[in-house]
């Protein structure tokens, strides 16, 4: 049984694909009010290439008694540890938790909240967004890397993902993948918020992007993640071009007045620099400017 916490964008994308492959799935929703709304909707809808498909997947609240063997955690990084603490009494011996959160920091918080479970980290380039409550658009096909820094053996259920058409690889160095994605997000997302622009418009600010990439590379080397620093600037420029017409996820969050994952992206990078007594003036200034912008919009700094 796949227990999936969070019926947002990625939770829906995973739940619907696993369910249509005939695998047993149960959604865990926040509370009984959310469960009632879900029951009124009658299930999840996934929209692919404009075609909606409905999936009446069973759902429950966190206080349900069913033991959990395999949990897909599909909430934002800032909700992850609390969500897992709530479910801790239900985790069966040998339980596994698959963490879909972007950035770094939440993985350690979850591991502390559920020390008895095996935590498998994921880094995904798939894209999905909520069109309405319980209706999600599969916006960008991509790839998901999974890995466990403490146990390099892949879990047996990777075959389920294959069966469900979830394109993935088992990574022997998932932390480098997460650091690389964090660096990409730090080089692009905050600047799109500060310039209030699409990713492609950052091509008008090449010096800022180059400075950031240089400091981020220095940070990656210092943190022992040299592999994640390789050709960072080229890759950032490639992503800016490839996603030129898009607004970054952080830009979308800020525009829609939603809390951002800043503490797990730029905040995490600045904390890591401070821990290593590394002075990265450009990154730190960017962090301060971003915090000021969020505060001006009444959004939290963490
Ligand atoms: P989302 O906001 O669409 O969905 C999160 C869901 O979790 C929400 O429905 C929320 O109500 C639910 N939730 C939070 N706490 C809960 C709790 N205690 N119990 C039950 N439900 C709870 O978020 P998302 O876009 O799916 O993103 C999830 C993570 O995946 C983020 O870290 C994000 O950065 C990452 N990510 C998202 C995408 C994407 O395209 N959406 C792509 C790559 C990575
Ligand atoms: O992942 C992204 C995001 O918007 O969060 C990209 C497109 C890579 C920009 O950083």
- Look at residue 59 and tell me if it is in a domain: yes
Q: How far is the CA of 82 from the centre of ligand 2 (A)?
A: 25
In a shared domain, residues 209 and 153:
no
Give residue 274's pLDDT band: very low, low, confident or very high (50, 70, 90): very high
What rounded mean pLDDT belongs to the chain?
Answer: 98
Q: Contacts for 115-120 with beta carbons within 8 Å, 24 or more apart?
A: 116/91, 117/71, 117/91, 118/94, 118/148, 118/150, 118/151, 118/155, 119/148, 120/96, 120/146, 120/147, 120/148, 120/155
Instruction: Please choose from 10, 84, 98 the residue to mutate so as to test ligand 1's pocket, defined by most ligand atoms within 8 A of CB.
Output: 10
pLDDT of residue 163: 97
CATH number of the domain that residue 128 is part of: 3.40.50.720
pLDDT of residue 84: 98
**What pLDDT digit, counting tens, does each position of 238-268 carry?**
999 999 999 999 999 999 999 999 999 999 9
Domain hosting 196: range is 176-296
In a shared domain, residues 67 and 25:
yes
Where do we find the tokens 């525009």? 255
CATH number of the domain that residue 255 is part of: 1.10.1040.10
Pocket residues for ligand 2 (CB within 6 Å)? 184-185, 188-189, 199, 239, 243, 248-249
Q: How far is the CA of 251 from the centre of ligand 2 (A)?
A: 10
pLDDT of residue 253: 97
Give residue 286's pLDDT band: very low, low, confident or very high (50, 70, 90): very high
| Domain end position, chosen among 172, 201, 217 | 172
- Look at residue 301 and tell me if it is in a domain: no
- Look at residue 81 and tell me if it is in a domain: yes
- Look at residue 270 and tell me if it is in a domain: yes
Where do we find the tokens 């479910």? 87
**What pLDDT digit, counting tens, does each position of 156-187 carry?**
999 999 999 999 999 999 999 999 999 999 99
CA distance 213 to 185: 11
- Look at residue 123 and tell me if it is in a domain: yes
76 is annotated as an active-site residue: no
Instruction: Specify whether the CB–CB gap between 228 and 167 falls below 8 A.
Output: no
**What pLDDT digit, counting tens, does each position of 79-117 carry?**
999 999 999 999 999 999 999 999 999 999 999 999 999
Residue 239 CA: nearest ligand 2 atom is 8
Q: Over pLDDT 90: what percentage of the chain? A: 100
pLDDT of residue 199: 98
Q: Which residue has a Cα nearest atom 1 of ligand 2?
A: 185
Residue 251 CA: nearest ligand 2 atom is 4
Give residue 275's pLDDT band: very low, low, confident or very high (50, 70, 90): very high
Domains identified in the chain, total number: 2
pLDDT of residue 183: 98
Give residue 61's pLDDT band: very low, low, confident or very high (50, 70, 90): very high
In a shared domain, residues 226 and 287:
yes
In a shared domain, residues 158 and 121:
yes
Angle formed by the axes of helices 174-194 and 206-222, nearest 10°:
150
């Amino acid at each position: 049984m796949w227990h999936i916490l969070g019926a947002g964008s990625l939770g829906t994308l995973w739940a619907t694909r696993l369910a249509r492959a005939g695998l047993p799935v149960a959604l865990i929703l926040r509370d009984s009010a959310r469960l009632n709304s879900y029951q009124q909707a009658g299930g999840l809808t996934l929209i692919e290439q404009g075609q909606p498909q409905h999936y009446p997947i069973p759902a429950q609240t966190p206080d349900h008694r069913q033991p959990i063997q395999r949990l897909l955690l599909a909430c934002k990084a800032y909700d992850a540890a609390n969500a897992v603490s709530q479910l801790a009494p239900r985790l069966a011996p040998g339980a596994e938790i698959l963490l879909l959160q972007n950035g770094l920091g939440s993985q350690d918080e979850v591991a502390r909240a559920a020390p008895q479970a095996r935590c498998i980290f994921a880094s995904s380039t798939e894209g999905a967004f909520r069109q309405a409550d319980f209706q999600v658009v599969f916006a960008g096909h991509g790839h998901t890397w999974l890995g466990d820094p403490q146990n390099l053996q892949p879990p047996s259920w990777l075959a389920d993902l294959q069966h469900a058409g979830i394109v993935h690889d088992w990574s022997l160095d998932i932390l480098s993948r997460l650091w690389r994605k964090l660096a990409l997000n730090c080089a692009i997302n905050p600047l799109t918020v500060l310039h209030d622009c699409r990713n492609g418009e950052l091509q008008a600010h090449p010096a800022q992007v180059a400075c950031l990439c240089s400091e981020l590379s220095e940070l990656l080397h210092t943190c022992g993640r040299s592999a994640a620093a390789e050709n960072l600037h080229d890759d950032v420029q490639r992503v800016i071009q490839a996603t030129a017409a898009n607004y970054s996820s952080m830009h979308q969050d800020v525009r829609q007045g939603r809390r951002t994952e800043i503490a797990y992206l730029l905040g995490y990078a600045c904390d890591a620099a401070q821990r290593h007594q590394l002075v990265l003036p450009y990154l730190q200034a960017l962090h301060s400017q971003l915090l000021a912008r969020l505060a001006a919009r009444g959004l939290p700094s963490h």
